[in-house]
Amino acid sequence: MVRPREFDRDEALDRATRVFWAKGYASTSTEDLLAAMNIGRQSLYNAFGDKKKLYLEALERYQQTSNAGHLERLNSSESPLGGIEALLLGLVSDNDDARALGCMGVGAVGEFGTADPDLVMLRSKAGRALSRRLVERLREGQARGEVDPAIDAREAAAFLQMTMQGIQLGARAGGDARNLRALARFAIRRLGAR
């Protein structure tokens, strides 16, 4: 007879996510995970499979939550440029410790690049909805006279997503909030109608 699980799987996954986010995949040991999750080795394997499967599940959950927040900020203003500004500025935490974590997804790119097909698929899936909505907001901005009509909306959306990655990488590298916000505002000003 199988023993019932004696821990909250969601809470354990949240704890594992925090460890992977802070340390990356390679630097996170199974012992780090067991200690953070407060579970035994067999429970980890029974509930999550191996370390790689746990990492993929943690990263996917992180990306879903993160993207939901991105879309919420992007849609938070009637003004398309206001929504884009909220999106970019919302990446910058005032809390030094939180800001220094950067983005788990950007960390995965730095650690794995395109070498892992599972991670490439997750990244592609996570970025699609945001990219589509950015294009829509940019086109709305062009129709309202807020965004330069000469800008290609798809190229500008890609630029904004790369800017987001740069801000998050800069945060992970120790960038201060003031400078990261200045970068966000600089990018937003480049989009404005001339």
Which domains are assigned to the chain? 61-191 (1.10.357.10)
DSSP 151: S
Q: What is the mean pLDDT of residues 28-42?
A: 95
In this prediction, residue 2 has a pLDDT band, given cuts at 50, 70 and 90, of very low
The values of phi and psi at residue 40, to 5°, are -85, 165
In this prediction, residue 193 has a pLDDT band, given cuts at 50, 70 and 90, of confident
| pLDDT of res. 1 | 42
Percent of the chain with pLDDT over 70: 97
Query: What residue has token string 């919420």?
Result: 72
How does pLDDT run across 121-178, given as a tens digit for each residue? Answer: 988 888 899 999 999 999 999 999 999 999 999 999 999 999 999 999 999 999 999 9
- Report helix, strand and coil shares of the chain as percent, to nearest 5: 75, 0, 25
